[in-house]
Amino acid sequence: MPPRLARILQRYFGLNLYRVLARPLDPEPRAAAAGMRLALLGETELLGHCRDAGLELPAASARASLARGDLCVGALENDRLLGYAWFAFGATPESDGVWIDLDRRATYSYRHFVRPEARGRRIAAMLVTAADAACMQRGVSRYVTLIYTHNRASIRASLRSGAGSVGYAACLRLFGRALSWRSPGARREGLRFFRPQSNLSPFSFAMRRLASMLAATTSRN
């Protein structure tokens, strides 16, 4: 599907289309680029970086993620945070009150960010492998991420990290409800969308057919 059409569906119709990527975790860390340090960020250090508006990382959001037990990995150059990635081990908020959950053997990686002036240095690909050993200590063995189908740069970064496409998913916000569809590969990862304390209805037959057509079209990109 053309990225512009996917953005229009997301912005005006509340339909989010995702590519689902996964890979096994690797306990052997990859080397960082010269002059760069990859590290898990503790609360004090992380909240200090939150004061930098250029990182798009509100302190309240960071605190909420840490309170759920999520990990944050950062790429630092001369103690300046160039980018970060988050790793969750349970249900995680996605957007507009919708949450994502996975098989308990997987870590869900989300909120990948690299400063605009640092992009093109393959920092994102380094970030998403930097926490493998720490994630394995939490008892998980797989990395899973969901990326909007129109975000081709992030998809390329995940592919460079060794992840492969396992399927597609769609979530539609409609009249205060969240209707979801997952391809067989996404379901095998245990992926589900839900609203806390709410039962989500599945797509109608017509919506299932539409989502399948959209995923098939996207796969040709």
Confidence of residue 74 (pLDDT cuts 50, 70, 90): very high
From CA 81, how far away is CA 37, in angstroms rounded? 9
Question: Between β-strands 142-148 and 106-114, what pairing exists: parallel, antiparallel or unpaired?
Answer: parallel
Q: Does 209 score more than 70 pLDDT?
A: no
Residue 219 has pLDDT above 90, yes or no: no
| Average pLDDT across the chain, whole number | 87
Q: Is the pLDDT of residue 144 over 70?
A: yes
Mean pLDDT computed over 98-110: 96
Q: Mean pLDDT lowest for which of 59-68, 99-108, 205-214?
A: 205-214
The predicted model gives 18-22 an average pLDDT of: 97
Closest CA to 29 of 67, 63, 73, 80: 73
In this prediction the pTM is: 0.84
| Tokens of residue 133, six digits | 């050993």
Amino acid 210: pLDDT: 53
pLDDT grade, residue 205 (50/70/90)? very low
| pLDDT value at residue 218 | 45
Question: How far is Cα 83 from Cα 33, in angstroms, rounded to an integer?
Answer: 13
> Is pLDDT at 214 greater than 90 in this prediction?
no
Average pLDDT over residues 177-198: 90
Which residue bears the tokens 């379901």? 187
Average the pLDDT over 27-38 and give the result.
84
Express as a percent the part of the chain with pLDDT over 90. Answer: 71
Q: What domains appear along the chain, each with residue ranges and CATH number?
A: 3-218 (3.40.630.30)
Does residue 151 have a pLDDT over 70?
yes
Mean of pLDDT values over 78-96: 94
Average pLDDT over residues 197-213: 49
Local structure of 76: helix, strand or coil: strand
